[in-house]
Structure 1
Amino acid sequence: MKTSRMKLAADSLEYLHGQIDSLNKVAENHKVTLKLNEVSVQTALIAATTALTTLFLGFLIKDYLIPLIVENRVKRKKGQELFIKSKRNLFSSANSFNHRLKEIFQTRSHYLWQQTPLIGFYDYKYRSTVFRLCTLLGWIRIYRIQEPNIVIKKKAKTSHQIIERIRAIESSLADGQRVEMYVVKAIFQHVSKDTNAVPQVDLENFAVEIDHLVHATCSMKNILRLNQGDNATKDNFIEDLSKLAQPVNIALTELQTVKDKIVDEVSVKLGLIYRDWQDAIGDLMLLKNGEEYQTISYKTFETYWDQANTTLEKKWLKRAEVMFDNLNLTANTKSDSRIEQIPLIYSSIYELQKTLYDIKIGSDPISKANFEKISATIK
């Protein structure tokens, strides 16, 4: 290609020299000074300009435009192939985890209970439950990393929808505000008052102040949850709570009447996995080979799981485990926020599955008949 370009340049220069010679002959024959308004001069200049323009355009098209077009086509093709792979793996990991969530919620799986001996099949079920959550977080992390290179038809709208679904999942795993408001509503219910009679901003402020008070009390008394404290600790807490409750019109005497119930409510067990934790768990699950990403195998996961709690790998797996540790859905109590959280997680994951399924690029990740069997919610 380089030789042909050099030949083209040489030919063009030779042609240009010929035009200059023609001009010289015109000048010699007519014995006059060249003037630009002479037809022969204009013809020669036009021919020379045309030759140079043709040469320049040839270089531009061959060396820039054509390679750029080819590069963009290759990039689009790779971007679509990348999306097809991401779509398949995201859907598969979401489907696997949601299947387990549905099983847990509907069968009240006792292998999550603290008193259940984790041996044999029960041990596998417990570990694989955490593994499925971590794998989903891994593929979500991969999608976020690769998103700039992913190409989808109607990209702006579709990409926005996928990211919104992912954000909803992240929120369902990490939403502490939902728990705070749950506690406020429970307190109002115990004292037989209506939250609708109080401005929303006052309820939200009350929720935050309760959370701070609970953490301060537990930290001062060196306990994990308030219901582990002695009677004096609980009484002092109720008195402090009554001061915070004045703007929402709840009196100390009302709180004292239902003290034990309120203490149980604020001792709610959390299963929150904060967003930065989700990213870190996702990173732990990654395997990168060149430009290719995968998640670790169950075998590698078990190797991490069997490490000491002080290792970096086990540290992040323990933070994922909070979602399931001693989760008892049959208990006659509402002191575990995860009981309410799991249906929210399930629904947000289903919305991601539906969005991915509706994007008709590549083969469907699951047959239509099987997709229609998937429940949008669990109750």
Structure 2
Amino acid sequence: MAPLTSGCEKLIWRFKELFIDNRHQWLMSNTLPISYNEHKRVSTLYRIATLLGWIRAINLELNSLEQGTSRFTGPLARAIGSFQSALADGPHTELRRLEQLCASWNIDIKELSLVQKQSLAVDLEVEYYKVAGSRLKEDPDYLLDLSDSKKLECCTALANFLTGKLRIKSLSPDFIKERVQSALESLAYEESLIYREWQEAIGDAMLVSEQGSIRKFRIIGYADFTKLLRTRSPWISAFRTSIDDINFAVIDKRDVRRQQLGRLARAVADMLGAIAETDDKDLVNHEALTVAKQLQEASDLHCT
């Protein structure tokens, strides 16, 4: 519990800079001083990866325990789950993409239930990548750079897919052509998902077996972490650039990483708050807990 608490607290102070003190210029790669800002981004990744490492260590140890003997239940388990979900899940993005695209084409989906919308959003996501290709994962603006004919082809395919699924009248070719740009802009979201298996892989890479200690593991040092960031595995590649150039000064509806960071901050604050309610509450720094409570409110402003 002690290293988990310490890991949460270090992230709490970094998220305080972002969401309470509004000190976020270091997220931008072209802002001076460049070397200092790069260090801030890398150190933030190190703090997130450290927490992933301890969560991975917890799960490895829990696998060797009898059921019902773990303290990692209730609010703390839910907070850890929210932390993992904030990094891994994008259903909110899928739903937003559906709603924005339908709005661009004046397709009314208000009568659909949330479950129906979510199901349609997933289907649209599959069709979206089928039509546009896998390059979208690396470049969210890929569609905007296509030729006019290819843009129209993609929009026509998606429009026919949606009207077919909703069983409504097909959109006219002229209308689709007229709305090509707005439709594609509604689809181009930038996100940085670190899937759960990727989180485990990062956690494994952060852990080193510790011989002759009360703990089985320790976290790699910062220097070794910078070497790890230079590896080419897909999970490290995605993680390495996950917070680069998130612009807090300008609201960019296409970049949902700001909301992802807000969800992450809220989850870490919830984790620290949950620890403070356990028998290990003495491990929690009172100043950090106060900031965590502020973040539980402030980060909500960035999670919508």
TM-score, normalization by structure 2: 0.81
How has the CA–CA distance of structure 1 residues 150 and 93 changed in structure 2, closer, same or farther, with 3 Å as cutoff?
farther
Higher relative contact order (CA 8 A, sep 6+): 2
Q: Where do residues 251-262 of structure 1 align in structure 2 (5 Å cutoff)?
A: 252-253=171-172, 256-262=177-183
Report how far residue 261 of structure 1 moved. 2.3
Mapped partners of 1:213, 1:148: distance in 2: 38
Higher normalized helix content (fraction of residues): 1
Report how far residue 235 of structure 1 moved. 0.9
Report how far residue 257 of structure 1 moved. 4.4
Report how far residue 101 of structure 1 moved. 3.2
Mapped partners of 2:205, 2:261: distance in 1: 23
Deviation string, structure 1 residues 52-93 (Cα, Å, up to 9, x no partner) = xxxxxxxxxxxxxxxxxxxxxxxxxxxxxxxxxxx2211221
Mapped partners of 1:104, 1:373: distance in 2: 12
Query: Counterpart in 2 of 1:74?
Result: none
Report how far residue 157 of structure 1 moved. 7.4
Query: Counterpart in 1 of 2:152?
Result: 235
Q: Where do residues 126-165 of structure 1 align in structure 2 (5 Å cutoff)?
A: 126-148=41-63, 159-165=73-79
Mapped partners of 1:269, 1:128: distance in 2: 22
Aligned mate of 1:327, from 239, 243, 246 = 246
Aligned mate of 1:214, from 124, 128, 152 = 128
1:95 and 2:9 correspond: yes
Give the conservation status (yes or no) of the 8 Å contact 1:134–1:320. Answer: no
Query: Counterpart in 2 of 1:186?
Result: 100
How has the CA–CA distance of structure 1 residues 230 and 331 changed in structure 2, closer, same or farther, with 3 Å as cutoff?
farther
Mapped partners of 2:29, 2:70: distance in 1: 47
How has the CA–CA distance of structure 1 residues 193 and 283 changed in structure 2, closer, same or farther, with 3 Å as cutoff?
same
How has the CA–CA distance of structure 1 residues 143 and 269 changed in structure 2, closer, same or farther, with 3 Å as cutoff?
same
Q: Which of these two proteins has the greater Rg computed from alpha carbons? A: 1
Query: Counterpart in 1 of 2:111?
Result: 197
Give the conservation status (yes or no) of the 8 Å contact 1:238–1:252. Answer: no
Q: SS in structure 2 opposite 1:373?
A: helix
Give the conservation status (yes or no) of the 8 Å contact 2:50–2:206. Answer: yes
User: Which structure 1 residue ranges, 5 or more long, are not aligned?
Assistant: 1-86
Aligned mate of 1:286, from 188, 202, 207 = 207
Query: Counterpart in 2 of 1:302?
Result: 226
Q: SS in structure 2 opposite 1:103?
A: helix
User: Which structure 2 residue ranges, 5 or more long, are not aligned?
Assistant: none
Q: Which runs of 4+ in 1 moved over 6 A?
A: 220-223
How has the CA–CA distance of structure 1 residues 118 and 135 changed in structure 2, closer, same or farther, with 3 Å as cutoff?
farther
Q: SS in structure 1 opposite 2:282?
A: coil
Mapped partners of 2:29, 2:150: distance in 1: 27
Alignment size in residue pairs: 285
Give the conservation status (yes or no) of the 8 Å contact 2:100–2:186. Answer: yes
Aligned mate of 1:348, from 267, 284, 289 = 267
Query: Counterpart in 1 of 2:197?
Result: 276
Mapped partners of 2:197, 2:125: distance in 1: 21
Give the conservation status (yes or no) of the 8 Å contact 2:29–2:37. Answer: no
Deviation string, structure 1 residues 214-260 (Cα, Å, up to 9, x no partner) = 32233288983322222112111111111122144485256554432
Report how far residue 148 of structure 1 moved. 4.9
Question: Counterpart of 1:180 in structure 2: which amino acid?
Answer: E
1:244 and 2:161 correspond: yes
Q: SS in structure 2 opposite 1:121?
A: helix
Report how far residue 206 of structure 1 moved. 2.7
How has the CA–CA distance of structure 1 residues 97 and 370 changed in structure 2, closer, same or farther, with 3 Å as cutoff?
closer
Percent identical pairs in the alignment equals 20
Mapped partners of 2:30, 2:205: distance in 1: 29
Mapped partners of 1:284, 1:167: distance in 2: 20
Aligned mate of 1:115, from 13, 24, 30 = 30
Mapped partners of 1:204, 1:373: distance in 2: 34
Q: Where do residues 310-321 of structure 1 align in structure 2 (5 Å cutoff)?
A: 310=232, 316-321=235-240
Q: CA RMSD in A?
A: 3.0
